[in-house]
Amino acid sequence: MGNWAELSKEVEGMLRLRTFPLAWKRLSKKEELDKIPRVRHIEHPITFCQAFTLARTAGWTVGATAADMEWCGFKNICGLARPTEEELSGVRRAGYWLKTPDDAQKQAQAMYRIPAGDAEAIVLAPLASEKFEPDVIMIYGNPAQLMMFCCGLQWTDYSRLEFTFVGETACSDSVARCYVTGKPSLTLPCYGERRLGHVQDDELVIAIPPNQLGKAIDGLKGLWAVGLRYPIPFYGAEADNSPTLARAYGPEALAARKKASG
């Protein structure tokens, strides 16, 4: 088991997150849910959007099977059920989320999906609770917080980060994309996440492979050491920006960085 409690505390503190980072996992057998301490199995149909909110705000550990998500498309996004031909056709969304059947089918087929067949349940919990080893870590934050987080990921071994948005069912772009590709996956929470999951107007979500959380935190510490921190202080839209830009990019600053880098 990773030292998730310490890592969660660090990222919460450095970014001043207002909800808990989450651990998410697929379970091969639904009976495994019973082995997780204080897991809650909701006694009525639930959506993934509701489950992650209960976990990230109330601190609950929430387990679910495909049968629990009767109306929730996440059951086939996360591989608890195979998508039906009707779902893959997009017909349910034509004239609702998409104007035409052709557009609806394009959306349905653009979604990231975890292949079904090797999992019967999912579970969510605050990462700090260390109830299980996560498959994916989810973090909700405002654009500035997650911008700094992404910059932390890029501090070493830089690579360009690219993200997707299929529209409604954005859990495809976060959890499923991360699981399938092994890449950090930031997206705009969709309508369902806001209506059912209470995601706020200023929130985005990023899903990351567990082995990249420490890398992001190390990067945030590196940025912190040179004065790049959250919250970001406002300088002033009409102020003379010469002093602050000179401190960051002027000849003395560049010379100091060249000397420090060897």
**Distance from C-alpha of 22 to C-alpha of 104, rounded to nearest angstrom:** 31
**Distance from C-alpha of 220 to C-alpha of 213, rounded to nearest angstrom:** 11
Q: What pLDDT was estimated at residue 207?
A: 98
Q: What pLDDT was estimated at residue 176?
A: 98
* pLDDT surpassing 80 at residue 1: no
Higher pLDDT, 258 or 229: 229
Lowest mean pLDDT among 18-22, 169-173, 208-212, 233-237: 233-237
Number of residues that make up the chain = 262
pTM: 0.95
What average pLDDT does range 168-190 have in this prediction? 97
Q: What pLDDT was estimated at residue 2?
A: 75
Render pLDDT for 43-86 as a digit per residue (tens, 0 to 9).
899 999 999 999 999 999 999 999 999 989 999 999 999 999 99
Q: Residue 75 is which amino acid?
A: K
Render pLDDT for 86-138 as a digit per residue (tens, 0 to 9).
989 999 899 999 999 999 999 999 999 999 999 999 999 999 999 999 999 99
User: Where do the H-state alpha helices sit in the chain?
Assistant: 4-15, 48-58, 74-77, 85-89, 101-110, 143-154, 175-181, 191-195, 213-225, 242-249, 251-260
Render pLDDT for 214-230 as a digit per residue (tens, 0 to 9).
999 999 999 999 999 99
